[in-house]
Each structure stands twice: as C-alpha cells, then as structure tokens.
Structure 1
Amino acid sequence: MQTILGAGGPVNTALATELKSYTSCVRLVSRNPVKAGSGEQAVKADLLKLKEVLRAVEGSKVVYLTAGLPYKHQIWQKDWPVIMDNVINACEKYEAKLVFFDNVYMYAKQNIPHMTESSSVEPPSKKGKVRAQIAEKLLQRVQSGNLTALIARSADFYGPGCLKNSLLVETVFKPLSKGNKANWLGNADKVHSFTYVPDAAKATALLGNSEAAYGKVWHLPTSSNPPSGKEWVEMIASEMHVKPRYREVPEWMVRIMGWFMPVMKETVEMIYQYDRDYFFDSSKFEVAFGLGPTPYSEGIKRVVEQDFQ
C-alpha cells in the first residue's frame, strides 16, 4: 500500500491514478477524503495530530506528503514544522519511505533565472524560510540514517483540473476565457517555467518507486523552453481563439490589491519570482529516468479542452 497525505487537490488526484501502476491499494488521507475509484482507501486524519498521522501511515510502504496549507505565512510558520515532525516520526516508526512534494520558495533570488537541485538555499520570503526549514529537517533525518526519503520539487504548476490551485490558470486562462484581459504579475517580457501537473504526478510516482532516487532532491520534468509572460498569453489566447490582451501587474499594484484581497497581500513577498527570468531546470531527472515533459503547446491545449470548452 502507498499513501498520499493531503489528498484532494489536482496533483494528488493525478498522483493517485499514477500510483495504481505500482500498488494494488492507494490510501488517500485528508480531513475530508473522497475515494475517486477502485483500489483506493479513504482515511480521515488531521496531519497536525500525531496519533492520527500514525494511524494514517501504518501499513504503508511509501508515503507521499503533498499537503497544501492556506496561503498565509503565519499558518505556514505554525503548522508546517508540526506536520513535518509528525510525518517523519510516523514514517520512521513504521519504516515507510517518504516522498515530499516541495516547491522552489527556498532558493535564493539570484538562482531564480536558472534553478537546479544544487541552487543555493537562501529564501528571501517568510514562506520560503518555512519551506527551507522543513526540507532541511527531512534531509537531516535522512543523513542520520533514521529515515528513507526524497524531495520532489515542482515549479509553479498548471494543468487540467487546476481551476483553484494554479496562478497561471487564475491570472491568464480564466480572464481570457471570459473575454477579459489576462493579468501577468511582474514583467511580461521575462520567461517563466510552469510544471504540467500530469507530468509532475507521473514523475513523483516513479521517484517513489525507484530505490536509487532516495536520499536526493529531484526537479520534476518541466519543459526547457519557457515562454515569456507575453508569449504565455499569446499561446493561451490562440488556443481559445480570443485576442491576446493582457496587463502587467507591478508590485505596487499587488500591494494595493492586498488591502482588499488577502491572497494578494501574501503574494507581495513573492513578486521577485516574476520580475526576472524564472527557469526551472529538470535535466537531472530527465537524464536519469528518460522521461521528458509535455510541451507547453500540448499542455495548454489539454487545459483548454478540459476546462474551458
């Protein structure tokens, strides 16, 4: 049995499907779990409570920590260390392998134009400091020999079914589909990588079931020719057969929007990822496993076909 902690979002749904190639039973764990098909087991648990995490992990061969928390740094600072401690302790107790689905918030500003697994960890944001803290905690337990684990990192993501979880879908796909201008954070002349969710799910399942992958950090497969913000708008608009209209949203405007929209208030500290090129290099994974990413044109086509027609 393999277990997903934090089931329910688009990444987790796709991951559950991919894991069925490796195991006869996938356990879906969240506060309100829902089985989507055969070979799945739903378990209700609060990851902030150790007893419930222990019960959720027991009997698992591989555990995938893919939980998402509300986008508020105060919640991240309070809850993420507790969740990571609980999951690590449970995996050690039951000798389960751990796969942590991570983001890129811990990387230094100067590495954003070309991020690799060896990029320096020097987070400039409050949320990034939390991600660096919990990733370091996991790696330290691996180095101590008490835990078998790996980190799978994704860039900002997009894909079918990401109607509430993707910045690209929220700021570009949705407005264009309604005949409005797209909203591009920061500089629309800068390139920006996005990881396609089905690729991330397939690669995460493969990593979790590859002995040689453990003890390392991996970037999930992401196309190596990221478009600029303007090009993203043009490609998406072309697929939707609408005009490629957009506006740039600079930091000062995000700050003003934050007075009325809490999520935008939390986005201000992340603007540095949009005022420069943002290139996510996944060549290490692609060479090791021979699995390449979906081209951006194909990913955009699938999103439009599934969610906007």
Structure 2
Amino acid sequence: MQTILGSGGAIGIELAKSLKQFTSDIKLVSRNPKKINDTDILFPADLTDPAKVDEAIKGSEIVYITVGFPYNTKIWQSTWPNFIQSVVDACIKHNAKLVFFDNIYMYDPNYLDGMKEDTPIKPISKKGIVRAEVLNRITKEVESGNLKALIARSADFYGPSIVNTSMLTETVFTPLSKGKKANWPIALNYKHSFTYTPDAGKATALLGNTDDAYNQTWHLPTAKNPLNGKQWVTLISKEMKSKNKVSTVSNFMFKVIGLFVPVMREMPEMMYQYNRDYDFNSDKFTNRFPEFKVTTYEEGVKEVVAIDYKD
C-alpha cells in the first residue's frame, strides 16, 4: 500500500496519477478524499488527529506527505510540528518509508541564486522557521537509523487547475485572463524558477519507488534558465493572446490585495524571494534519472492556458 496524506491538493492529485504506474494499491487520505484512479482506497481523516494519522499509515509501505495546511503563519506554527511528529512516529511504528514533499523556505536567502540540495539552512521568515523544524524532526530520526525517508523539494510551483496555492496563478495567469494587469512582486528584473506540478508529481512517485533514493534530499526536476518577471508575463500574455500589462507590487500592496485574496495576505514576509535571483538547480535528479523529460516553461504555460483558460 502507498498512502498519500493530503491527497486533494495540486501535488497530491498529480502524485496519485503518477503512482498508478507503480502500484494499484493507493490510499488517499484527506478530510474529503476523492478518487483519482478507479482502484484508489479513500480514507477520510482529520490529519491533525494523531490517532487518525496512525490509522491511515497502518499497513502502508510508503507514505507521502503532500498536505497543504492553510497558508497562515499561526496555523503552521500550531499544526505542522505536531502533524510531522505524529507521521514520523506512525511510520516508525508501522515500518513505513516516508516521502516528504518540501519547499525552499528554510534556505539561507543569500544562496537562492543556484540553490542545490546542500544549500545552507538559515530561514528568516516565520514560515521558514516552521519548515526547518519540520525537516529537523524527520532528519533526526533518519540519522538515528529509526526511519527511512527522503525529501522531495520543489521550487515555487505552477500548473493546471491550481486554486489559491500558486503565486504565478494568482498574480499573473488569473488577472491576465480577466483583461487586467499582472501583479509581479517587488521587481521585474529578477529571474525566478517555478516547478511544473505534473513534473513534481511524476518525480515524487519515481523517487518514492526508487530504493536508493532514500535518506537523501532531492530537488524535483525544474526547467533550467528561469525567466525574470517581465519574461514570465510576456510568455503568459502571448499564450493567452492578452495584453502584456504588468505592475510591480510592494509589500504594502500585497496586504491590500490580501483583503480580497487570502493567500496574498501571508506573502509579505516571503517577498525576499523576489528581490533577488531565485534559481532552483535540479541537476542531481536529472543526472540520476536522465530519461525524465522536464517540461519547459513554454510547454508548461501552453498546457496551463489550454486546460484552464480556453473557452
């Protein structure tokens, strides 16, 4: 049995699709899970309840964490550490391997241009501090020999059918589709990598089913040569056949936008990622799995527009 904790989000859905090539025994766990594959087993659960986490993990060979708790600092602080501890404890108890879908929030901001798996961990945001604590709880058990786990780390992501969890969707795709200006954070001249969610799902499934990938950190496959803000807006507007219009948005304006778009309310502390180059290196993965085709930015944007924004 391979179990996805947090199966209803953008990554969980793509992961479930991709796991089908490795197993027909897939358990989807969330508050209201829905089948992705015909043979999926649905397990409704409140993942903040350790007893439910233990019950969900029992009988699992591999457990994937793709849960997305509400993007709110206070919720993250009160929820993530306890949740991770309950997962780690249950995986050890039931001898299950763990795959943790992670982000880059814990990295030292001075090393974002060319991030690799050994980038120094030195978070400056409250959310980054939470992610560092979560990571520490996993690696501590791995280093002690109690747990077999891997970290599958993604850059900011974009992809089809994402609602309220992608910066690129909220600031560029959606406003341009409505004939409005795109709202790029801080400055247009810095490059910024984005991981394509279908690639992330396929790669996470592949790593989870590759025994020698465990007890390591992996950057998920992400296109090279990231675009800067102006280039992202130009590419997306061209594919949408919309006007190429963009404004840069300050921290203050993100707070104003947050009155109407909740995810934006939480973004000001993360804006350091947009006042410098953000280049996510995934050479370790592509060297280990050379047959994996990484979606180019042009291909990814074309697919998103075709799926989500065509009449």
TM-score normalised per structure 2: 0.97
Q: Measure, in 2, the Cα distance between the counterparts of 1:264 and 1:36.
A: 29
Q: Measure, in 1, the Cα distance between the counterparts of 2:87 and 2:140.
A: 14
* CA deviation string 1:139-195 (max 9, x = no partner): 010010110000000001011111332110111011111111001011111100000
Query: Any idea what SS the aligned residue of 2:113 has?
Result: coil
2:77 aligned with 1:77 = yes
Q: Measure, in 1, the Cα distance between the counterparts of 2:241 and 2:163.
A: 20
CA contact (8 A) 1:111 1:120 kept: yes
Query: Any idea what SS the aligned residue of 2:243 has?
Result: coil
Partner of 1:284: 284
How far the C-alpha of 1:264 sits from its partner, in A, is 3.0
Query: Any idea what SS the aligned residue of 2:74 has?
Result: helix
Residue 175 and residue 115 in structure 1: after superposition, are their counterparts in 2 closer, same or farther (change >3 A)?
A: same
CA contact (8 A) 2:108 2:120 kept: yes
How far the C-alpha of 1:34 sits from its partner, in A, is 1.3
Query: Any idea what SS the aligned residue of 1:114 has?
Result: strand
The farther-off stretch of 41-50 and 249-258 is 249-258
Partner of 2:175: 175
How far the C-alpha of 1:45 sits from its partner, in A, is 1.3
Amino acid at match of 2:205: A
1:153-192 aligned at under 5 Å gives the runs 153-192=153-192
Partner of 1:305: 306
CA contact (8 A) 1:47 1:86 kept: no
Query: Any idea what SS the aligned residue of 2:279 has?
Result: coil
How far the C-alpha of 1:31 sits from its partner, in A, is 1.1
2:24 aligned with 1:24 = yes
* CA deviation string 1:207-260 (max 9, x = no partner): 000111100110000001111100000000110111211000022322444567
1:38-187 aligned at under 5 Å gives the runs 38-187=38-187
Amino acid at match of 2:189: D
Task: Provide the alpha-carbon RMSD of the alignment.
Answer: 1.2
Partner of 2:34: 34
- Mark the runs of 5 or more structure 2 residues left unpaired by the alignment: none
1:191-270 aligned at under 5 Å gives the runs 191-258=191-258, 262-270=262-270
Query: Any idea what SS the aligned residue of 1:302 has?
Result: helix
Query: Any idea what SS the aligned residue of 1:28 has?
Result: strand
Q: Measure, in 2, the Cα distance between the counterparts of 1:217 and 1:39.
A: 30
Amino acid at match of 1:162: I
Q: Measure, in 1, the Cα distance between the counterparts of 2:282 and 2:268.
A: 27
- Mark the runs of 5 or more structure 1 residues left unpaired by the alignment: none
How far the C-alpha of 1:54 sits from its partner, in A, is 1.1
How far the C-alpha of 1:124 sits from its partner, in A, is 0.4
Query: Any idea what SS the aligned residue of 1:239 has?
Result: helix
The count of aligned residue pairs is 309
* CA deviation string 1:105-126 (max 9, x = no partner): 0001101122111000000000
How far the C-alpha of 1:8 sits from its partner, in A, is 0.3
- Give identity over the alignment, percent: 51
Q: Measure, in 2, the Cα distance between the counterparts of 1:259 and 1:239.
A: 30
Q: Measure, in 2, the Cα distance between the counterparts of 1:232 and 1:260.
A: 24
Query: Any idea what SS the aligned residue of 1:293 has?
Result: coil
Query: Any idea what SS the aligned residue of 1:47 has?
Result: coil
How far the C-alpha of 1:28 sits from its partner, in A, is 0.2
Amino acid at match of 1:128: G
Amino acid at match of 1:43: F
Partner of 1:293: 294
Amino acid at match of 2:104: V
* CA deviation string 1:35-75 (max 9, x = no partner): 13312010011222121111101111100011111111111
Q: Measure, in 1, the Cα distance between the counterparts of 2:301 and 2:309.
A: 11
Q: Measure, in 1, the Cα distance between the counterparts of 2:221 and 2:36.
A: 26
CA contact (8 A) 1:105 1:123 kept: yes
Amino acid at match of 2:116: T
